[in-house]
Amino acid sequence: MEILAFGVQADEKPLIERAFAGEFEVRCLEVFLDADTAPIAAGHEAISTSVNADLGAGVLRTLAAGGTRMIAQRSTGFNNIDLDVAAGLGFTIARVETYSPYSVAEFAWTLATAVNRRIVRAAGRTRDFDFRLDGLMGRDLHGRTAGILGTGRIGAAFARIAHGFGMRLLGWDVAENPECAALGMTYTDKEQLFAEADLISLHVPLLPATRHIVGAAALAAMKDDAVLVNTSRGGLVDTEALVEELRKGRFAGVGLDVYEAEAGLFFLDKSLEAVADDTLARLMTFPNVLVSSHQAYYTEEAVRQIVETTARNVSDWAAGRRSGNVLIPAAPEAD
C-alpha cells in the first residue's frame, strides 16, 4: 500500500521515508492538502497531512469519494479537521499525541530572549557595519516574573528554563502540574497572571474556550513593558487587538511563531508576491515584533518522533489496532 504524504518539507522527507520503510511505500508531496489538491489522493486508502492542511467538510468529502479511509496527521493539534464530518464519513483519524517538549519550549525561550535583547535589530545593524548600541537596551530576566498559560509537558519544560534563569513563576491551567509546583510556581487566575507577569508564554491548545484567550482585555491588563510569546496556536491571540496595542507603543517585545491566519502563508515562499494580509503586514512593521514561520517544533529529534509515530499510526490502522493517538472513531465508553 502506498501512503501519500502532503505538505512535506525538504528536511522532513528522508525522515518520513525512513520511518515508513519496510512496511509501506510512501510518496512525499510538497503541496499542502486543500480543495485544489485533494483529488491527488484518489486511490490512496491512507494519507498523511501537516498541521496546515485543510481538512474541512469539502476536502473530507473529496477524499472519501476517492477511497481514502485513514488520515494520519503529523501534529498534536487537530483544529484544522472537521471531526464531526470525518466521523460521519467513516474515516479513521490519528494524530501525534506527544513529541519532544524541549523543541517548542526552547524555541519559545529563544523568541523571548531575542525580542528582549533586540537581537534581530542588532544583527541587521552589524551586517551594515553599524555598531551603535542606541535602542538595543534589554532587561535582565533574572528576578522578574514569568507567566505560563498551560503547564503540560511543553509548559513545564519552559518553566524549568525560566526557573533556571531565576524567574518567579506564575501558572494557569485547568489542573496544577506537581512538577511545576515543585519549582515554586504559584497557580493563579488569568487576570492576575496577565497583570503581574513580565514575560508571558502560551502553551495551551486551541479550543473554543481558549480562542483569543489573549484578547483586548488581557492585552490591556498586561504591563506596558511585558514580553509576549506564542508558540502554540495562532488563534490564542486576537491579532487585531494586539496590533492596536502595539500602535500605542506598548510591550517590550512580542515573539510569534504562529498566526491565526497562517494557513496558505506559513511554510510557503511568498517573497515575490504582494502581501494581501494587512494585519500580518502591520505586525511586521513593528521593531519590537518577531514573527517566525511555525518552526518551534522543527528539530531533528521532534520531527523524527513525529514521523515515527505517524508511521505507527498507519501500521496500527492497517492491522486493526487502536492507540491513544486515534481521534475518531471515538473510543468506546467503559461500562
* Residues acting as catalytic residues: 233, 262, 294
In the structure grid, which three cell numbers stand for residue 269, read together?
515562499
Contacts for 282 with CB less than 8 Å, ≥ 6 apart:
243
Element (H, E) at 31: none
Q: What's at 226, amino acid-wise? A: A
Contacts for 158 with CB less than 8 Å, ≥ 6 apart:
105, 108, 109, 146, 148, 201, 203
**Residue 249 has what DSSP assignment?**
T
List 71's β-bridge partners, or say none.
Answer: 47, 93
Tell me how far apart the alpha carbons of residues 146 and 151 are, in angstroms, rounded to a whole number: 12
C-alpha closest to that of 4 among 24, 19, 21, 22: 24
